[in-house]
Amino acid sequence: MSPQIALIGLNQVGASIGLALGAYKENITRVGHDADSARMRRLEKEGVCDKTHTRLPDAVRGADMVILSLPTDLLRDALGLIAGEVSPQAVVVCISAVARVAYQWARELLPPQQPFIVLQPVLHPARLRDWEENSSNPYADLFENTHMLVVTDSNTQEKAFQLANDLCALLKAKPYFSEPLEADGITARIEQLPKLTAVALLSMLVEKPGWDDARKMTNRAFFRFASLNTLFDEQEFFGVSNLVNRENITRALDELSATLAEIRQMIDAGDEEGLQKMYQTARQGYETWLTQRMSGEWDKVEKPPEALERGILTRLFGGRPVKK
């Protein structure tokens, strides 16, 4: 009987992991579960998983690895549901934007010796603009030649660490290591702050009496910035995730407020040179980032690790020949 990997949450990330692991489907049984039963059945037909279960506990029973790809609001309940069903030897991999609370909930709800680790994926550059179509489609190459943040704490077991690295290899992603405090600080600045800022702008405008006229005059700059509001769902970014990461978010908001105050001072003072300098610095930083992000060449980027036989495949298959 082939080892099982349970995919809990078939959003774009979870479903894309399933598609990527399809290259090893002769060796792995992929079991899927999603609260949206119609989407779950459709993705099963599209090859994301080999079979599905409508009940979450049934999906993890007998699994050698459980991959949770869920909104923060649903994560705690999911950990509670699998706690009595998942094998004590199975590695639980949590795809979570907020690492500290994921580890906290895992310690509270899972058995003490349950191998557990947090991953935060980075998307393939070709998929960065999917949000313009509000796309949730899965792609087998969604993580190919990108970084995968592997977040460990002091209690992370060696088995979980090794299998997380091997999973990165199978997804053709390069592991990049961090700890929960650092990872949550990054999330606050590059994920949550831009979206909160977009919400603040829209809230400021639409609640003003002049919005009825102003909305008719909106152009490209407004459209691009305001479109950030389509990048999140209500559960993920205006529910638990903002509150559990409040220290990092409030710090990031304070830093943004200080920068806006600096811009206001320069405008009040008529400091054209200062404004131009700030703009040029930001523009140069953006262009450098965009070039590196689209090419994947960060200084000197190593190739993703190979999925060697002594990696996840051997660990799961007990040294049996691997079919690819």
Non-local CB neighbours of 79 within 8 Å, separated by 6+ positions: 68, 92, 105, 106, 109, 110
CA–CA distances in Å: residue 7 to residues 25, 68, 319: 14, 6, 24
Type of residue at 320: R
Model pLDDT for residues 60-118, shown as the tens digit of each residue: 999 999 999 998 989 999 999 999 899 999 999 999 989 999 999 999 999 999 999 99
Q: How far apart are CA 261 and CA 276, in angstroms?
A: 16
Model pLDDT for residues 16-68, shown as the tens digit of each residue: 999 999 999 888 999 999 999 999 999 999 999 999 999 999 999 999 999 99
- The tokens for 152 are 């460990």
Q: What is the reported pTM?
A: 0.87
Which segments of the chain belong to CATH 3.40.50.720? 4-178+302-317
Q: Return the CATH superfamily for domain 4-178+302-317.
A: NAD(P)-binding Rossmann-like Domain (3.40.50.720)
Number of H helices, E strands in the chain: 15, 8
Give the rounded distance of the alpha carbon of 39 from its chain centre. Answer: 20
Strand partners, 177: 150
Q: Return the CATH superfamily for domain 182-269.
A: 6-phosphogluconate dehydrogenase C-terminal like domain (1.10.3660.10)
Answer yes or no: are the C-beta atoms of 94 and 102 closer than 8 Å.
yes
Which segments of the chain belong to CATH 1.10.3660.10? 182-269
Tell me the chain's radius of gyration from C-alpha atoms. 22
- The structure tokens 């909160």 sit at 196
What pLDDT is stored for residue 319 in this prediction? 46
* Cα atoms found within 13 Å of the Cα of residue 317, Cβ hemisphere only: 19
- The structure tokens 């979870």 sit at 14
